[in-house]
Amino acid sequence: MGLPIFKKRIGIDLGTAYTLVYVKGKGIVLNEPSVISVYKNSNRVVDVGRGAKKMIGRAPYYIDVIRPLRYGVISELSYAVLMLKEFLERADVKPGFFSSLETIVCVPSAVSTVDKKAVLDLSYELGSRKAFLIAEPIAAAIGAGMEIFEAIGSFIMDIGGGTSESAIISLGGLVVNEITSVAGDRMNEEIIRFFKSEYKILIGEQMAESIKINLGIVENPTEKFFAKGRDLVTGLPKGIEISASEIRVALLPLVDEIVRVLKETLVKANPEILSDISERGLVLSGGGSLIKGLDTYIRDKLEIPVIFAPDPLFSVINGIATVFKDLSKYLSVLTQMES
Ligand SMILES: Nc1ncnc2c1ncn2[C@@H]1O[C@H](COP(=O)(O)OP(=O)(O)OP(=O)(O)O)[C@@H](O)[C@H]1O
Ligand SMILES: [Mg+2]
């Protein structure tokens, strides 16, 4: 009789903006911003997650604050590994001597082989024996409770911080999928650019995100937000009241790019699938989809029903949790690599 091996199954939604960790038998044990801060000279971790996010734009010169993912891909692999190791430690997840770790990590569906390899390398760095990848829109669709194995077209778009991905899924596979880097982060950047060009005020990333979340893309000249930044002419602090209508004008070109991607997806689908979709509509998931006014804007442009996934911020991790409950059923939607 050999030594008992306890399998630890861990799901990771390694998002550009947020990282979520699921442990089978425990549930979701971590939900933190994908940010790490380190001492510049030693690379020792100062903080990760919420604490590190607060340091963006505020850290002393000897601390680096890093977002290891950009536009849905790992841009700083070593920091992504460091961040995840710290997250797993905080969530009390250690592979241990007598247990073997199995991981499922979600990646954007259009990710390159090099990026896939980076995520798999990362999984092994964490101590995985078996590492699976799952495409983000498929995980989101499963998490949203869509019947992906039926011979019916399911239409989903996940709008995160770094990517917006649309997919039509039928019979357990991607029939059509499209991706754009226009998502939450690009909207924040656009708001920063707008303040610079219109008001000669420099605002920070976190201020831009607050403006986006508070005002959205609704047509409402009376709804306002008091934004604070630095006057680019005098160099001094300056505040200004901005209306929802102004932010709408600034963000609409980006929203239209998301609509274009959705249309492109529909154009590529065949008529049977289109008739399924005109009945069942589009399901939205991901934090970026929560921007006020987006669902009605898309509904007007596409003329199909638009509904939200039950827990838009948790769709991907809930999907991974469902996969772990019945691995053999979902094996065909996973990419597997064994160490
Ligand atoms: N209520 C809201 N209104 C507008 N935007 C929001 C809201 N809540 C969250 N967001 C935005 O959602 C984005 C994060 O969403 P999410 O956590 O799904 O992304 P992610 O999974 O980390 O990114 P990706 O999947 O692209 O790698 C951020 O850009 C954030 O500003
Ligand atoms: Mg995501």
Arithmetic mean of pLDDT over the chain:
93
- pLDDT surpasses 70 at 4: no
Residue 114 pLDDT class (50, 70, 90 cuts): confident
Residues 206 and 187: their CA atoms lie apart, in Å, by 12
The ligand minimizing its distance to the Cα of 115 is: 1
The CA radius of gyration of the chain, in Å to the nearest whole number, is: 21
pLDDT at 71: 85
Whether the Cβ atoms of residue 20 and residue 317 lie closer than 8 Å to each other: yes
* pLDDT digits 0-9 by tens, 121-142: 888 888 888 899 999 999 999 9
- pLDDT surpasses 70 at 225: yes
- pLDDT surpasses 90 at 120: no
pLDDT at 66: 97
Residues 289 and 284: their CA atoms lie apart, in Å, by 6
Distance in Å, CA 44 to ligand 2 centroid: 27
pLDDT at 97: 60
The SS3 assignment for 7 reads: strand
Residue 82's contacts (CB-CB under 8 Å, 6 or more residues apart) are 36, 38, 43, 45
pLDDT at 336: 64
Residues 208 and 135: their CA atoms lie apart, in Å, by 29
Residues 112 and 319: their CA atoms lie apart, in Å, by 22
Q: For the chain, what percent of residues have pLDDT higher than 90?
A: 81
Higher pLDDT, 296 or 117: 296
Q: Which two tokens stand for residue 215?
A: 């005002």
- Range with the poorest average pLDDT among 52-56, 217-221, 283-287, 316-320: 217-221
pLDDT at 221: 87
Higher pLDDT, 120 or 27: 27
Residues 157 and 308: their CA atoms lie apart, in Å, by 10
184 touches ligand 1 (CB under 6 Å): yes
Residue 74 pLDDT class (50, 70, 90 cuts): confident
The ligand minimizing its distance to the Cα of 212 is: 1
160 touches ligand 1 (CB under 6 Å): yes
Q: Which residue has the tokens 């340091």?
A: 55
* pLDDT digits 0-9 by tens, 140-198: 999 999 999 999 999 999 999 999 999 999 999 999 999 999 999 999 999 999 999 99
Our mutation pick for probing the ligand 1 site, out of 84, 291, 292, counting the most ligand atoms within 8 A of Cβ, is 291
Residues 228 and 67: their CA atoms lie apart, in Å, by 23
Distance in Å, CA 281 to ligand 1 centroid: 22
Distance in Å, CA 195 to ligand 1 centroid: 21
Backbone φ and ψ for 118, nearest 5 degrees, come out as: -60, -40
Whether the Cβ atoms of residue 145 and residue 164 lie closer than 8 Å to each other: no
Residue 2 pLDDT class (50, 70, 90 cuts): low
pLDDT at 193: 98
Q: How many CB atoms lie within 10 A of CB 36?
A: 27
Whether the Cβ atoms of residue 91 and residue 317 lie closer than 8 Å to each other: no
* pLDDT digits 0-9 by tens, 278-313: 999 999 999 999 999 999 999 999 999 999 999 999
Domains of the chain: 6-34+70-139+315-338 (3.30.420.40), 144-182+252-308 (3.30.420.40), 184-250 (3.90.640.10)
Residues 215 and 328: their CA atoms lie apart, in Å, by 45
Q: Atom 21 of ligand 1 has which residue's CA nearest to it?
A: 15
Q: Atom 4 of ligand 1 has which residue's CA nearest to it?
A: 291
218 touches ligand 1 (CB under 6 Å): no
* pLDDT digits 0-9 by tens, 32-63: 999 999 999 999 999 999 999 999 999 999 99
Q: Which two tokens stand for residue 273?
A: 């699938």
Residues 134 and 172: their CA atoms lie apart, in Å, by 12
Mean pLDDT score, 77-81: 90
pLDDT at 248: 97
Distance in Å, CA 233 to ligand 1 centroid: 33
pLDDT at 339: 45
The ligand minimizing its distance to the Cα of 255 is: 1
DSSP for 15-40, please give it.
-SSEEEEEETTTEEEEEEES-EEEET
Strand pairing class (99-107; 73-74): unpaired
Residue 4's contacts (CB-CB under 8 Å, 6 or more residues apart) are 98
Q: Which two tokens stand for residue 17?
A: 């903006």
Residues 233 and 255: their CA atoms lie apart, in Å, by 31
